[in-house]
Structure 1
Amino acid sequence: MPEPGPNPIDIGTPPPASNDEDADLLHPDDLQATAKAKPRGLVRRVLISILLVLAVVAVAMLGFTSWRIIAQRHAELEIQPSVGPLSLDYSQEGASTADYLRTALAAEVDLDRTYGAVYKEAPDKNVLFLAGTGLIWTPGQDLDAAMNLISDEEGAVTDLKDVEAGPLDGTMKCGVTKSADGDLTVCGWADHGSLALAMFNNRTPEEAAPLMLALRNATETR
């Protein structure tokens, strides 16, 4: 009788065949979808980062604007008897003109207090000065509105250019307008607490700008 052979080797139970659901996990379409999802996620992160940067910039600008308003809103003006080569005109005509200028500015711009003055340097050179104080939210726009006051009386102020505003900051501009006696140079400044205009005869804008800055430095304090 033959000898019994060796015991068969147990190779275990074969793994079950993968079903359709498991096969789908490795489907090429899924791989493409995953590849597309990565760029979309990157774009989303970039957009979020940009929005965060814009928010930080906006907050910084708001803080800077608020600081400027607080720093400038309590401006005070005092008409000086003389500024450089200019001397205040105390005549009746000068006082009447100054009062007219003050009233005209008060009607054009919402200010708490207004001032007017006429300065003379020589018989053929004078300066009509009008100014006021109050909380001004948009200095540049209010200065343009005040320039319209000159436009109504003499003609449009043209060739307006930004000039040095000095240590008091804000905005300052000079331009030219027509009058019956020839060209007048018009300069003005505005900040969050004050606004002023001055008309110079027989002076170019380049000559009037430093004189306007001297008027401001002598007249305005905070």
Structure 2
Amino acid sequence: MLMVTLLSIACCCGCPAYFGKPMWEQYPATASLPAQVADLSLRTDARSENTIRELRTDVQNAHLLADDTFAGVYATRQGKTATVFGTTGFHLTPESDAEDELTRLTSKYDLGEQQVVETDVRGEHQRCAVGRSDGVDVVVCTWADHGSLASGVFTRLSLADSATLLGTLRKHIVSRD
């Protein structure tokens, strides 16, 4: 009888806690773009501001139920750029949301095959693909978790370096409420 009771408690409490933990750890979330991330500086020139407005409008139109949207253009002194844009809000299926977001961006950035990037965090998923934008080679990476979804467009970086940088940006931009 004791064994049945313990098994019942494990099934009734343990399973929901196991599957629900990433949700309550990752949602709700807010986003704030810092002025500096690693060697990247947030750009505030007119061209960057125009890009930010366009990206935010595009993200808002694609994700009508998002809590909030954000976008920013970062650059290094050496000319590498990282453009990041996304949303905060609840995502029940972050793995498929990451795949869908990168698929949505495929025609805009002429992306090749998506590659899954391991994150080692339950509920957090990342994908990247190589493409082109305005005649320049780019890497586009997307992350999704239960509280946020965002993409980064990187120039002059490898796919692996872009994926790592997206993780760094995520840690500096997204905070959990």
TM-score bin (small chain): 0.7 to 0.9
Q: Which deviates further from its counterpart, 158-167 or 110-119?
A: 158-167
Measure how far apart 1:68 and its partner are.
1.9
Cα shift readout 1:156-208 (whole Å, capped 9, x = no counterpart): x3332232436686112222123332321011111111111000012110121
Which residue is 1:170 aligned to?
124
Measure how far apart 1:91 and its partner are.
0.4
Measure how far apart 1:116 and its partner are.
0.7
Measure how far apart 1:101 and its partner are.
0.8
What code does the residue aligned with 1:64 have? Y
1:118 aligns with 2:73: yes
* Structure 2 SS opposite 1:158: coil
Residues 191/94 of structure 1: CA separation in 2 closer, same or farther (3 Å cut)? same
Aligned match of 1:92 in 42, 46, 70? 46
State how far apart, in whole Å, the 1-side matches of 2:75 and 2:151 are. 16
Cα shift readout 1:34-75 (whole Å, capped 9, x = no counterpart): xxxxxxxxxxxxxxxxxxx9xx87985544222221221111
Does the 8 Å contact 1:175/1:205 carry over to 2? yes
1:147 aligns with 2:102: yes
Which residue is 1:215 aligned to?
169
State how far apart, in whole Å, the 1-side matches of 2:121 and 2:18 are. 17
* Structure 2 SS opposite 1:159: coil
Which residue is 2:24 aligned to?
70
Aligned match of 1:128 in 72, 77, 83? 83
Measure how far apart 1:126 and its partner are.
1.0
* Structure 2 SS opposite 1:103: helix
What code does the residue aligned with 2:108 have? E
Question: What percent of counterpart residues are identical?
Answer: 25
State how far apart, in whole Å, the 1-side matches of 2:137 and 2:164 are. 18
1:203 aligns with 2:157: yes
State how far apart, in whole Å, the 2-side matches of 1:160 and 1:57 are. 36
Gaps of 5+ in 1: 1-52
1:80 aligns with 2:38: no
- Higher strand proportion (structure 1 or 2): 2
Cα shift readout 1:92-123 (whole Å, capped 9, x = no counterpart): 11011011111111222231100011011136
State how far apart, in whole Å, the 1-side matches of 2:41 and 2:114 are. 27
Does the 8 Å contact 1:98/1:129 carry over to 2? no
Residues 57/202 of structure 1: CA separation in 2 closer, same or farther (3 Å cut)? farther
What is the number of residues matched between the two proteins?
167
TM-score computed with the length of structure 2 as normaliser: 0.83
State how far apart, in whole Å, the 2-side matches of 1:167 and 1:87 are. 27
Q: Specify the structure having the higher radius of gyration (Cα).
A: 1
TM-score computed with the length of structure 1 as normaliser: 0.67
State how far apart, in whole Å, the 1-side matches of 2:171 and 2:91 are. 19
